[in-house]
Structure 1
Amino acid sequence: MSSLNPATVGSRTVVAKVEDFPPGSMVVVPVGKFGVGVYNIDGKLSAIANYCPHRGGPMCVGQLTGETTAGEEPYSSNFSRENEFIKCPWHGWEFELESGQAAAANVKVRSYEVVVEDDYVILLGVA
Protein backbone atom coordinates (compact mmCIF):
# COMPACT_ATOMS: atom_id res chain seq x y z
CA MET A 1 0.00 0.00 0.00
CA SER A 2 1.25 3.47 -0.77
CA SER A 3 1.79 5.86 2.10
CA LEU A 4 -1.27 7.92 2.92
CA ASN A 5 -1.28 11.65 2.58
CA PRO A 6 -4.95 12.54 3.01
CA ALA A 7 -6.24 15.85 1.69
CA THR A 8 -9.19 17.45 3.50
CA VAL A 9 -11.43 20.05 1.88
CA GLY A 10 -14.32 21.07 4.11
CA SER A 11 -15.87 17.88 5.46
CA ARG A 12 -14.47 15.67 2.65
CA THR A 13 -11.17 13.84 3.08
CA VAL A 14 -9.64 12.18 0.03
CA VAL A 15 -7.83 9.20 1.54
CA ALA A 16 -6.19 7.26 -1.32
CA LYS A 17 -6.93 5.38 -4.52
CA VAL A 18 -9.45 2.58 -4.14
CA GLU A 19 -6.76 0.11 -5.32
CA ASP A 20 -4.90 0.88 -2.06
CA PHE A 21 -7.75 -0.81 -0.13
CA PRO A 22 -7.95 -4.44 -1.24
CA PRO A 23 -10.57 -6.64 0.48
CA GLY A 24 -9.49 -7.48 4.02
CA SER A 25 -7.40 -4.35 4.46
CA MET A 26 -7.56 -1.60 7.08
CA VAL A 27 -5.61 1.61 7.48
CA VAL A 28 -5.79 4.33 10.12
CA VAL A 29 -6.02 7.67 8.35
CA PRO A 30 -4.39 10.53 10.30
CA VAL A 31 -7.44 12.81 10.42
CA GLY A 32 -9.57 14.05 13.29
CA LYS A 33 -8.43 13.93 16.89
CA PHE A 34 -7.63 10.19 17.07
CA GLY A 35 -7.50 9.05 13.45
CA VAL A 36 -10.10 7.10 11.49
CA GLY A 37 -9.86 3.43 10.57
CA VAL A 38 -10.99 2.68 7.01
CA TYR A 39 -11.87 -0.99 6.42
CA ASN A 40 -12.57 -2.97 3.27
CA ILE A 41 -14.63 -5.98 4.31
CA ASP A 42 -15.41 -8.11 1.27
CA GLY A 43 -15.54 -5.03 -0.97
CA LYS A 44 -17.62 -2.87 1.40
CA LEU A 45 -15.83 0.19 2.82
CA SER A 46 -16.52 1.31 6.40
CA ALA A 47 -14.87 3.88 8.65
CA ILE A 48 -14.83 4.40 12.42
CA ALA A 49 -12.99 6.65 14.84
CA ASN A 50 -9.88 5.13 16.37
CA TYR A 51 -11.29 5.78 19.86
CA CYS A 52 -13.40 3.48 22.03
CA PRO A 53 -16.14 5.43 23.87
CA HIS A 54 -15.83 3.09 26.88
CA ARG A 55 -12.32 4.07 28.07
CA GLY A 56 -10.61 5.65 25.08
CA GLY A 57 -8.82 2.57 23.77
CA PRO A 58 -7.27 2.56 20.29
CA MET A 59 -10.26 0.91 18.61
CA CYS A 60 -8.64 0.14 15.27
CA VAL A 61 -5.92 -2.01 16.84
CA GLY A 62 -8.71 -4.38 17.86
CA GLN A 63 -9.61 -7.71 16.30
CA LEU A 64 -12.36 -8.06 13.72
CA THR A 65 -15.08 -10.45 14.78
CA GLY A 66 -18.67 -11.38 14.01
CA GLU A 67 -21.99 -11.54 15.78
CA THR A 68 -22.83 -14.31 18.23
CA THR A 69 -26.51 -14.98 18.90
CA ALA A 70 -28.44 -17.61 20.82
CA GLY A 71 -28.92 -20.90 18.98
CA GLU A 72 -32.03 -23.00 18.59
CA GLU A 73 -30.95 -25.59 21.15
CA PRO A 74 -30.26 -24.81 24.83
CA TYR A 75 -26.67 -23.67 25.46
CA SER A 76 -25.96 -23.31 21.74
CA SER A 77 -24.95 -20.26 19.76
CA ASN A 78 -24.71 -19.07 16.18
CA PHE A 79 -21.85 -17.05 14.71
CA SER A 80 -22.62 -14.80 11.72
CA ARG A 81 -21.63 -11.54 10.04
CA GLU A 82 -17.92 -12.43 10.17
CA ASN A 83 -15.57 -9.41 10.22
CA GLU A 84 -18.45 -6.91 10.52
CA PHE A 85 -17.64 -6.06 14.15
CA ILE A 86 -14.49 -4.83 15.89
CA LYS A 87 -13.46 -5.69 19.43
CA CYS A 88 -11.72 -2.99 21.48
CA PRO A 89 -8.28 -4.28 22.49
CA TRP A 90 -8.51 -2.86 26.01
CA HIS A 91 -11.75 -4.29 27.42
CA GLY A 92 -13.31 -6.34 24.64
CA TRP A 93 -16.31 -4.14 23.86
CA GLU A 94 -17.60 -4.96 20.38
CA PHE A 95 -18.92 -2.45 17.85
CA GLU A 96 -20.52 -2.84 14.43
CA LEU A 97 -18.18 -1.32 11.83
CA GLU A 98 -20.89 0.17 9.62
CA SER A 99 -22.98 1.93 12.28
CA GLY A 100 -20.56 2.13 15.22
CA GLN A 101 -23.26 0.66 17.51
CA ALA A 102 -22.02 -1.38 20.46
CA ALA A 103 -23.15 -5.00 20.43
CA ALA A 104 -24.08 -5.12 24.13
CA ALA A 105 -24.63 -1.53 25.26
CA ASN A 106 -26.47 1.60 24.18
CA VAL A 107 -23.34 3.46 23.08
CA LYS A 108 -21.65 4.11 19.74
CA VAL A 109 -18.19 4.73 18.39
CA ARG A 110 -18.27 7.47 15.76
CA SER A 111 -18.64 6.08 12.25
CA TYR A 112 -18.17 7.93 8.97
CA GLU A 113 -19.64 7.62 5.52
CA VAL A 114 -17.20 6.39 2.88
CA VAL A 115 -17.73 7.01 -0.82
CA VAL A 116 -15.71 6.20 -3.93
CA GLU A 117 -15.47 8.92 -6.57
CA ASP A 118 -13.22 8.76 -9.63
CA ASP A 119 -11.39 5.76 -8.10
CA TYR A 120 -10.61 7.65 -4.87
CA VAL A 121 -11.77 6.69 -1.36
CA ILE A 122 -13.33 9.71 0.34
CA LEU A 123 -14.38 10.10 3.99
CA LEU A 124 -17.31 12.40 4.67
CA GLY A 125 -17.86 14.38 7.85
CA VAL A 126 -14.37 14.27 9.37
CA ALA A 127 -13.40 17.54 10.96
Structure 2
Amino acid sequence: MEEKVCTMQDLGPGDMIERTFSGKSIIICRSDQGIYAFLNRCPHQGALLSKGKIGGSPAATKNPGEYCFQREGEILRCPWHGREFDITDGGNTLTPDRSKLKEFMIKIEGEDVIVSTERKKSKAAQA
Protein backbone atom coordinates (compact mmCIF):
# COMPACT_ATOMS: atom_id res chain seq x y z
CA MET A 1 0.00 0.00 0.00
CA GLU A 2 1.20 3.49 -0.86
CA GLU A 3 -0.20 6.85 0.16
CA LYS A 4 0.64 10.51 -0.33
CA VAL A 5 1.36 11.99 3.11
CA CYS A 6 2.54 15.52 2.25
CA THR A 7 4.26 17.61 -0.39
CA MET A 8 7.86 18.77 -0.56
CA GLN A 9 6.71 22.31 0.34
CA ASP A 10 5.28 21.02 3.65
CA LEU A 11 8.74 20.08 4.89
CA GLY A 12 11.96 22.10 5.01
CA PRO A 13 15.35 20.67 6.06
CA GLY A 14 15.27 19.97 9.81
CA ASP A 15 11.45 19.84 9.86
CA MET A 16 9.19 17.05 11.08
CA ILE A 17 5.44 16.55 10.64
CA GLU A 18 3.04 13.95 11.99
CA ARG A 19 0.65 12.10 9.69
CA THR A 20 -1.61 9.04 9.82
CA PHE A 21 -0.64 6.28 7.42
CA SER A 22 -2.26 2.85 7.20
CA GLY A 23 -3.98 3.49 10.55
CA LYS A 24 -0.72 4.35 12.33
CA SER A 25 0.75 7.62 13.53
CA ILE A 26 4.00 8.29 11.66
CA ILE A 27 6.45 11.16 11.44
CA ILE A 28 7.99 12.47 8.24
CA CYS A 29 11.42 14.07 8.74
CA ARG A 30 13.62 15.96 6.31
CA SER A 31 17.37 16.55 6.45
CA ASP A 32 19.70 17.97 3.83
CA GLN A 33 20.27 14.35 2.70
CA GLY A 34 16.66 13.29 2.18
CA ILE A 35 13.20 12.55 3.56
CA TYR A 36 12.47 9.77 6.06
CA ALA A 37 9.36 8.20 7.63
CA PHE A 38 9.20 6.51 11.03
CA LEU A 39 6.57 5.09 13.35
CA ASN A 40 5.71 7.87 15.82
CA ARG A 41 6.88 5.87 18.86
CA CYS A 42 10.21 5.78 20.65
CA PRO A 43 11.41 2.15 20.91
CA HIS A 44 12.47 2.80 24.52
CA GLN A 45 9.10 3.45 26.21
CA GLY A 46 6.71 4.52 23.47
CA ALA A 47 6.89 8.32 23.66
CA LEU A 48 5.41 10.22 20.73
CA LEU A 49 8.47 11.29 18.75
CA SER A 50 6.41 14.04 17.12
CA LYS A 51 6.60 15.86 20.47
CA GLY A 52 10.42 15.74 20.29
CA LYS A 53 12.80 17.99 18.40
CA ILE A 54 15.13 17.63 15.44
CA GLY A 55 18.47 19.32 15.99
CA GLY A 56 22.12 18.43 16.15
CA SER A 57 24.46 16.76 18.56
CA PRO A 58 27.26 18.13 20.74
CA ALA A 59 30.80 16.91 20.10
CA ALA A 60 34.01 17.47 22.03
CA THR A 61 36.68 19.82 20.72
CA LYS A 62 40.42 19.85 21.40
CA ASN A 63 39.87 22.33 24.25
CA PRO A 64 38.79 20.73 27.56
CA GLY A 65 35.30 21.80 28.62
CA GLU A 66 34.46 23.10 25.17
CA TYR A 67 32.21 21.50 22.60
CA CYS A 68 30.83 22.18 19.16
CA PHE A 69 27.49 21.37 17.62
CA GLN A 70 27.36 19.06 14.61
CA ARG A 71 24.87 17.25 12.36
CA GLU A 72 22.24 20.00 12.66
CA GLY A 73 18.87 18.80 11.31
CA GLU A 74 19.79 15.09 11.52
CA ILE A 75 19.27 14.14 15.18
CA LEU A 76 15.78 13.44 16.56
CA ARG A 77 15.55 13.74 20.35
CA CYS A 78 12.85 11.82 22.24
CA PRO A 79 10.75 14.15 24.44
CA TRP A 80 10.64 11.79 27.45
CA HIS A 81 14.19 10.64 28.14
CA GLY A 82 16.30 12.52 25.61
CA ARG A 83 17.34 9.49 23.58
CA GLU A 84 18.75 10.60 20.26
CA PHE A 85 18.16 8.98 16.89
CA ASP A 86 19.98 9.62 13.63
CA ILE A 87 17.17 10.25 11.14
CA THR A 88 19.45 9.37 8.21
CA ASP A 89 19.52 5.71 9.31
CA GLY A 90 16.97 5.46 12.17
CA GLY A 91 19.60 4.30 14.64
CA ASN A 92 20.10 5.30 18.25
CA THR A 93 23.14 7.61 18.35
CA LEU A 94 24.64 5.80 21.37
CA THR A 95 24.00 2.24 20.20
CA PRO A 96 23.21 2.42 16.45
CA ASP A 97 22.79 -1.35 16.07
CA ARG A 98 20.08 -1.45 18.78
CA SER A 99 16.83 0.42 19.38
CA LYS A 100 16.29 1.41 15.75
CA LEU A 101 13.20 3.35 14.82
CA LYS A 102 10.61 1.52 12.73
CA GLU A 103 11.13 3.06 9.30
CA PHE A 104 8.98 3.10 6.16
CA MET A 105 9.88 3.46 2.50
CA ILE A 106 9.56 6.94 0.99
CA LYS A 107 9.47 7.98 -2.63
CA ILE A 108 9.04 11.34 -4.27
CA GLU A 109 6.68 11.69 -7.24
CA GLY A 110 6.86 15.24 -8.56
CA GLU A 111 6.20 17.31 -5.42
CA ASP A 112 4.34 14.50 -3.58
CA VAL A 113 5.90 12.55 -0.71
CA ILE A 114 4.64 8.95 -0.86
CA VAL A 115 4.97 6.43 2.01
CA SER A 116 4.76 2.66 1.52
CA THR A 117 3.81 -0.08 4.00
CA GLU A 118 6.94 -1.86 2.82
CA ARG A 119 9.68 -1.63 5.45
CA LYS A 120 12.64 0.53 4.56
CA LYS A 121 15.70 -1.30 3.21
CA SER A 122 17.76 1.49 1.62
CA LYS A 123 18.70 5.11 2.16
CA ALA A 124 16.14 7.94 2.17
CA ALA A 125 14.43 9.44 -0.82
CA GLN A 126 16.55 12.31 -2.03
CA ALA A 127 15.12 15.73 -1.28
Pairwise TM-score range, normalised by the shorter structure:
0.7 to 0.9
**Paired position in structure 2 for 1:19:** 9
CA contact (8 A) 2:15 2:54 kept: no
Instruction: Give the residue type in structure 2 aligned to 1:69.
Output: A
Q: Over residues 36-78 of structure 1, what are the superposed CA-to-partner deviations in whole Å (9 max), with x where a residue is unaligned?
A: 1112335832222210011110012101121222222233322
**Secondary structure, aligned partner of 1:56:** coil
Q: 1:113 aligns with which of 68, 92, 105?
A: 105
Structure 1 unaligned blocks of 5 or more: 1-9
What residue number does 1:124 align with?
116
User: Does the 8 A contact of 2:13 with 2:32 survive in 1?
Assistant: yes
Aligned runs of 1:58-69 on 2, under 5 Å? 58-69=48-59
Name the residue aligned to 2:125: none
**Is the CA contact 1:13–1:126 (under 8 Å) kept in the aligned structure 2?**
no
Distance in 1 (alpha carbons) for counterparts of 2:12 and 2:93: 26
Identical columns (%): 27
Q: Which residue of 1 aligns with 2:40?
A: 50
Q: CA RMSD in A?
A: 2.3
In 2, the alpha carbon distance for the partners of 1:108 and 1:44 equals: 18
Contact 2:39 2:101 in 1 (8 A): yes
The structure that has the greater radius of gyration is 1
User: Which residue in 1 is equivalent to 2:124?
Assistant: none
Equivalent-residue separation in structure 2 for 1:24 and 1:116 (angstroms): 18
Q: How many residues are matched?
A: 117
- What TM-score do the two structures reach when normalised by structure 2? 0.76
Cα 1:34–1:65, aligned 2, differ >3 Å: closer, same or farther?
Answer: same
